[in-house]
A and B are shown apart, each in its own frame.
Chain A
Amino acid sequence: MTDDAENALLVAMKGVTKRFTGVVANEDVDFDVRPGEVHALLGENGAGKSTLMNILYGLYHPDEGTITIRGVAKNFSSPRDAIAAGIGMVHQHFMLIPSQKVWENMILGLDDIPAILPRNEIVRRITDLSEQYGLRVDPMANVWQLSIGEQQRVAILQMLFRKANILILDEPTAVLTPQEAERLFKTISQMTSEGHGVVFISHKLDEVMRITDRVTILRKGHVAGRVDTKSTSREQLAEMMMGERVPFSISKPAIEPGNRVLEAERITVLGDRGFPAVNRLTLDIREHEILGLAGVAGNGQQELCEALSGLRKLESGNVVLDGAAISGLAPRTFIDRGIRYIPADRKGTGLVPNMNVEENSILKKYWSHPVARGYLIDWKHVFEFARSLVSRYSVSTPSLYTPVRNLSGGNLQKLMLGRELSDSPRVVIAMHPTWGLDVSATRFVREQLLEERKNGAAVLLVSEDLDELLALSDRLAVICKGELMGIIGDPSAVTLETIGLMMAGTPVESIANNTGGLEQCG
């Protein structure tokens, strides 16, 4: 490549190597971003994508290799330097301050902010950016009260607020609906049309094929391939990612569902902000059945899951398990009766990051025999249990004494899944169980859910991935603004368009008549 061509690049990383204690995260990786392109970074969990991007963002210093931004060699010592160079990153786990308001988060880490914060000015800019890029969010809301999807919008806005012209998006669509994703894609194309560069990290091959210009595939810390999107295919990308062909389809044997296990009877639940998040919602889940729940992020899914697992108080209505009302009982009772919840927020809710694999494995059973013997915990038994869990659910961890904060997303999920599913639950409530997982981990999680279905559990699957919902669900419920838009008895018989309409707020019964007046949800 000539010097001119090199100078024209927004980003050029050459020969980047990064080792952590005993692990090579990146080895001799070259990566570049051209002006006006979307460059996808593809790879399984632990392939080194996040490490590479954290290096570009100044969070890590490479052991070897160089970074050049617009032809100028850079040596970032902190994200502050990277931001100054125009690089913005939206992480999978958003770097936001939950206790602060949206507008306060915008100015996080900025230098040239007056001592008295110009709140109105900031709010106005947020509103402008929100409208320009279709990232709707209330600047005055507290971040901790926002859903994961809304928090992501804040994180993206934060980078746009800093006028980043090289934007790194780590799994950006994982929490978005098709409609929202469409809007994000428009945002991205608007950025690229202005000459900005976007690094797009994703596992969704369809999206990569659709919106990117080039794809770099990482495998085990090395570059496994770099192709122009135009001249490749999903299958080829998947193959380069995994090094072997993994079939995409999943076999779901037909099973006749049994009795009703879990029922919600006209339940109303308040969200953190004190407004009803779930509104007089009624549904039931039967034995041997997966009930899918589709909906735009932040439309009451989390509150519903928490209410069904006993973690959130009902305002009205009833939760019924095997014909007996259980609403109002202690969360512990829900667990003891076999209701298992796999929350979306793995590190924040599902696991204790600073505790080790062994200690995390018993979070849902430390009080019952044989883990507990009277008041004592039988750590010998726990060790055996954790060891079998790790091998059965193929959790890859250096040891049982490793704090789980050091595990990758896929392994965190496998550990949590194993813990929740290990003693044949009656009900499994899984929220975004494959969020941010690579292809093989995703496949594993789905198989486990189907296995529970086979064993007779009633499964509620909340997902943003419509393909996943359609492939796994026996029936599909659609939620919008906390209300049920309807339950589709045979998901394979309806079009994606119908589901999209329901997610946008049209009840299923009015779709047949094709009444207009759609109201956008989310």
Chain B
Amino acid sequence: MTHTKKGAGALMGHLVLGYPTLQESIRTAEKYVEGGVEILELQIPFSHPTADGPVITAACREAVEQQRVSMQDCLEALQTIRQRFPDQEIMVMSYVNRVYAFGPRRFAEAMERLNIRHLIIPDLPVDDAQALAITRHANIKLVPVLAANATDARLEKLLAAGFDFYYLMSDFKITGSTFSLHPRLQKVIGQIKQTAPEARVGIGFGISTPEQVQMVYAAADVAIIGSALIRAQEAGGLETYLSSVGSA
């Protein structure tokens, strides 16, 4: 597994499995890796992605309603991507109802077989009993998705629980908004790094330009791009876009 070099920023690229088709989403994942994306964030689409902005919501809707992508299709796509890139770091993102419907334990075991170590489930508080039902039976960690309003007490509790990747929202935004870095994030990052120096911190929501990627690398370990990649793909300029943000 290629872990991020400390001190040098890593790029995490998000895509929706099944968008625009299942096969094309697999090819897109390949293009991401070939274009220098160090962590793949693969979203299992849900009909109602409550934390996503219009671009990712539309992609999820297309995958669910038009492409009719099932959980089984997604697991097979993940298997294909894993076989193609045995050492690639992959995080899987979805919403809690998809995991709950599939069965938390069954889902965790499927992830473990795919050598996937991190799950991002934004509408599942990482210390809820339902979260424990996922992580209890497999070598898998949830990724807390935090914003600048995370209280000190909450951060202390999460840090004590030993999470090793923290996903920070750049600002009070939904995905795909204009980019800004909330001034209090620096304090949140400082608290994480002080208690858990080995934990990685990623920042996402609204990142699109190489300059913004640079700003994120100056503050954290990983820059997470989602909507901007979908827009680049839709405009037919994915490779060019990847090389621009990849050289940041």
Q: Do A and B come from one complex?
A: no
